[in-house]
Amino acid sequence: MENIIVINNIEVEISKIYQQKTYYTLIEGTPGEELNDKILAEIKEQAKSIFNRDSFYVMDPRENADDNFPQNTIILELMVLNDLEDYSPLTVIFFQDKYAFPITAENIESIKEIPIGLLWSDNNLNSRKHLQ
């Protein structure tokens, strides 16, 4: 797996990756809406702690609130150099059944749909509507 993804003709580098089993804390039973919401909140807190950043882009695969997440949680740091040789990393959270790498084609396509402006350092958090 290459660590470069092209978004709108701009090369974006995967500079860091963290992954874990999504339901690693579930000892018995099955997940449901309440547990999934709790897990997603915990994953967001982990992303803040691991990548030392308060904002992130979440690719939530659930179509219905009670749908389960895929088996693995993956947190990436994406980075692009701008014209000023400055960078602005973006933390992305997504899920897939395969333990990364490789990142699934579906997730790569979703990453390519992230507005590239979220990676430029001159954007402030108020303009980052897609961030959670």
* pLDDT at residue number 44: 92
* pLDDT at residue number 82: 58
What is the domain count for the chain? 1
- Transcribe 9-57 into DSSP letters: TEEEEEEEEEEEETTTT--SS---HHHHHHHHHHHHHHHHHHHT-S--E
Please give the chain's pLDDT, 132 residues, in tens: 567 777 777 788 888 999 999 988 777 667 788 888 888 999 999 999 999 888 889 999 989 878 899 999 999 998 876 555 556 788 999 999 988 778 898 998 998 888 877 766 544 333 333 444
73 assigned to some structural domain: yes
Whole-angstrom distance, CA of residue 48 vs CA of residue 52: 5
Structural domain of residue 79, as residue ranges?
A: 4-127
132 assigned to some structural domain: no
57 assigned to some structural domain: yes
106 assigned to some structural domain: yes
Alpha-carbon dihedral sign for residues 99, 100, 105, 106: positive
98 assigned to some structural domain: yes
